[in-house]
Amino acid sequence: MTAVLGGCGSTGSSDVTLELVAADYGDSAASSSKKYWDDLAEGYESRHPGVKVHVDVYSWNDVDRKVKEMVAAGHAPDLAQIGAYADYAAAGKLYPASDLLSIRTQADFLSSLADAGQWQHVQYGIPFAASTRVLFYNKTLFGEAGITPPTNWSELAADAGALKAKGVKYPYALPLGPEEAQAETLQWLLSGGNGYTDDVGTYTIDSPQNVKTFTWLKDELVGKGLTGPVAPGRLNRADAFAAFADGQVGMLNGHPTLMQQAARKGVKFGMVPLPGRTGRARASMGVTDWMMGFRQNGHAEQIGDFLDYAYQEKNVLAFSREYGLLPVTDSASNTMAESGAARDKELRPFLDQLPTSQQYPVGKTSWAAVSAAVKKDIGQAVAPTGSPAGVLTRLQSAASAADSANSG
């Protein structure tokens, strides 16, 4: 336990500069996360005159690579807010969360997210921001087709057929292209009753349920021309979102930022839980981005004190509201759930799913390699000449090999 519990006390040191590398959640210079971090650092420094916080913000295209290069060069930052932590934990480069955070801060995290931050049963990844996925549908197109939102796969296929009959370009957009295929894949695996791993963390990519799921996708959606003119393996998530915002998509899985994107274009949309094979999916997909503290510079006390400040409810809410993301703490989540503000009400369908959502297997050091393999190959499973069982078996073999090699 750190010596500092209040978040506003003296760190007992002076003239320390904490180096923080963070991801940019904005979509322009005006909305860059740099402003949030600069304001947060200024607020912290005003209470802690002996500590400075220097923040560098990079796009998501660059931030993970940038931190990896810094660590490899022997110049690890004190703090990194990026997409994955397990490799650094396995290499012994991170502080356990319990060495940094006050008991109050640790206890405030949503338990499912804190658990997802564990490597070998010790928490190293500190949740920073989260999102879940729901099924978006175009209300105008649904009205013209005389259909209602689906609650199971057969209804989804029937709705897609009705949309196609009305000339909708993408009745159901299925982005299995390399940008974010691992996300669309997990959503469908969950809706089919399984996932990437079993309850003890063993990869189950080629399970009978998963093979059935992709066989259904291939035969009942893709094979019947219900996924649009671009082959799913070549359709990226960003392009699918853009097409939805242009009114060309009847349905697709989406996260909170799609609300803003569609609203800017005047698209009237609704949101429902992702349908499962015979009813609501057993779990929604959740994605968490991570904060972590590096050991190299020995600033555990200052790192922990700054994080206790950063995770105060007002700061967590400010970031979540600015970028349409879900808070990772119980206190902020409860405040958002009870809020009457329109911006908070919009996030409620996503917020309701977060406590029971299923994350990527981020605690496995093999996950980065497995995710890359899924991005590269999963689109072939639904191609006209593709074999769902064959593709999933190859991915399972690659996952098992990566798992053995990493022993993670």
**Could you tell me if 341 and 387 lie in one domain?**
no
Q: Does 278 fall in a domain?
A: yes
pLDDT for 14 equals 57
**Could you tell me if 185 and 69 lie in one domain?**
no
pLDDT for 405 equals 83
**Could you tell me if 156 and 293 lie in one domain?**
no
Is the pLDDT confidence value at 161 over 70?
yes
What value does the mean pLDDT take over residues 216-243? 96
Domain that holds residue 380: 134-283+364-406
**Could you tell me if 216 and 158 lie in one domain?**
yes
The residue with greater pLDDT, 101 or 260, is: 101
Q: Does 9 fall in a domain?
A: no
Structure tokens at 259: 């609300």
Is the pLDDT confidence value at 114 over 60?
yes
**Could you tell me if 121 and 221 lie in one domain?**
no
CATH number at residue 24: 3.40.190.10
Is the pLDDT confidence value at 182 over 70?
yes
pLDDT for 199 equals 86
**Could you tell me if 187 and 226 lie in one domain?**
yes
The residue with greater pLDDT, 299 or 281, is: 299
Percent of the chain with pLDDT over 70: 96
**Could you tell me if 243 and 382 lie in one domain?**
yes
**Average confidence score pLDDT of the chain:** 92
Q: Does 264 fall in a domain?
A: yes
Among 314, 339, 356, where does a domain finish?
A: 356
**Pick from 5-19, 139-153, 283-297, 312-326: least confident:** 5-19
Q: Does 2 fall in a domain?
A: no
Backbone angles phi, psi at 157, to 5 degrees: -65, -40
**Could you tell me if 260 and 125 lie in one domain?**
no
State the pLDDT confidence band at 61, using cuts at 50, 70 and 90: confident
pLDDT for 265 equals 93
**Could you tell me if 95 and 193 lie in one domain?**
no
**Could you tell me if 248 and 384 lie in one domain?**
yes
What value does the mean pLDDT take over residues 264-274? 94
Among 335, 356, 377, where does a domain finish?
A: 356
Residues 366-375 have pLDDT tens digits of 998 899 899 9
**Could you tell me if 207 and 72 lie in one domain?**
no
Q: Does 3 fall in a domain?
A: no
Residues 301-340 have pLDDT tens digits of 999 999 999 999 999 999 999 988 999 999 999 999 999 9
State the pLDDT confidence band at 139, using cuts at 50, 70 and 90: very high
Distance of alpha carbon 199 from the chain centroid: 20
**Could you tell me if 42 and 96 lie in one domain?**
yes
Q: Does 4 fall in a domain?
A: no
pLDDT for 407 equals 62
What value does the mean pLDDT take over residues 131-145? 96
Q: How many domains does the chain fold into?
A: 2
What value does the mean pLDDT take over residues 239-254? 96
pLDDT for 280 equals 84
Percent of the chain with pLDDT over 90: 79
Is the pLDDT confidence value at 12 over 80?
no
State the pLDDT confidence band at 27, using cuts at 50, 70 and 90: confident
**Pick from 155-159, 328-332, 343-347: least confident:** 343-347
State the pLDDT confidence band at 3, using cuts at 50, 70 and 90: very low
Q: Does 267 fall in a domain?
A: yes
Q: Where does residue 336 rank: exposed (0-12), middle (13-18), buried (19+ CB within 10 A)?
A: buried
What value does the mean pLDDT take over residues 4-12? 40
Q: Does 253 fall in a domain?
A: yes
